[in-house]
Amino acid sequence: MIMQGVYTALVTPFRNGKVDYTALEVLLEKQIAGKVAGVVPVGTTGESPTLSTSEHIEVIARTAEIVNGRCQVIAGSGANSTEEAIYLTLEAKAAGADASLQVTPYYNKPTQEGIYRHFSVIAEKSALPVVLYNVPGRAGVPIAVETIARLASNPLMAAVKEAGGSVDRVSAIKDCCDITVLSGDDYLTLPMLSVGAAGVISVASNIIPGELSEMVELALEGNFKAAMVLHRKYYPLFRDLFIESNPIPVKAAMGITGDITPEYRLPLCELSAAHHNALLETLKKCGIVAQ
């Protein structure tokens, strides 16, 4: 499976406590119009921890149905229980997902051998391409470069999403295997592309899919000077979408732009007033909303 370009880590819109599928369809059409390579429903940005199992599967199914082959669908179906991850991944496959995003098991802190077996068994049982998700800040443990190299020998391991804040990890991974690397942080996308990453799983592209697609395309073509212009323009947005825990700020920003109702499920709650004002000013500065 070839993965390259912008993949949007989709928010899950809510209205009156329920998933807003009408808003989801509008959001997906915006992504496709922005020429993203793919969408990633029900990952961290999609508030997967607060969705019921039936909602989780339904969001994936609706996403695949609406997209209808116009871009790739990488379903968030990871868990810190291997059996649960297998179940969700099989359901995602049945719903039409092209691949699954598998986060490092969180909280229970497995060893590297346990991590290797976890991802290997999921791939074996589902026969669906896997995007490994290295995010030690949330999971508590990293996927070691050596473990990625071991996993990369399995043809079902399609890519790794690197969200550990280290550009050096891209070089280290590419030095020992040829797995595709995708940035997991918008602000590091351009630096990671410069050393061999193939794209990004992006939060900011919920808001500016076309602009990010253009930036990544320019970089992949080797035109880093033009890509840098876009990076610098939107860097304040990349930064401030993490002014509080993701996806609180991106949903607040999408509320300002009118894309969704900025509704959350506890334990997440609305953006603080001070941060909301700061985010509004950033959206103005980046030209996303009028001054």
Pairing label, strands 72-76, 130-134: unpaired
- What CA dihedral angle connects 248, 253, 254 and 257, to 10 degrees? 160
Residue 133 known to be catalytic: yes
253 Cβ contact partners less than 8 Å away, ≥ 6 residues apart: 207, 237, 241, 279, 283, 288
DSSP state for residue 272 in the 8-state scheme: P
**3 state SS of 69:** coil
Q: Which residue, chain included where needed, has tokens 């050596």? A: 146
Residue type (1 letter), 99: A
**Among 133, 187, 234, 251, the one annotated catalytic:** 133
**Among 116, 161, 234, 251, the one annotated catalytic:** 161
**3 state SS of 243:** coil
**3 state SS of 77:** coil
Residue 234 known to be catalytic: no
Pure H helices in the chain: 21-33, 53-67, 82-95, 112-126, 136-139, 145-152, 168-176, 189-194, 209-220, 224-240, 248-257, 273-285
Provide long-range contacts, Cβ within 8 A and 24+ apart, for 165-168.
Answer: 165/137, 167/191, 167/192, 167/195
φ and ψ at 41, to 5 degrees?
Answer: -80, 155
Residue type (1 letter), 265: R
- Catalytic residue positions, numbered: 133, 161
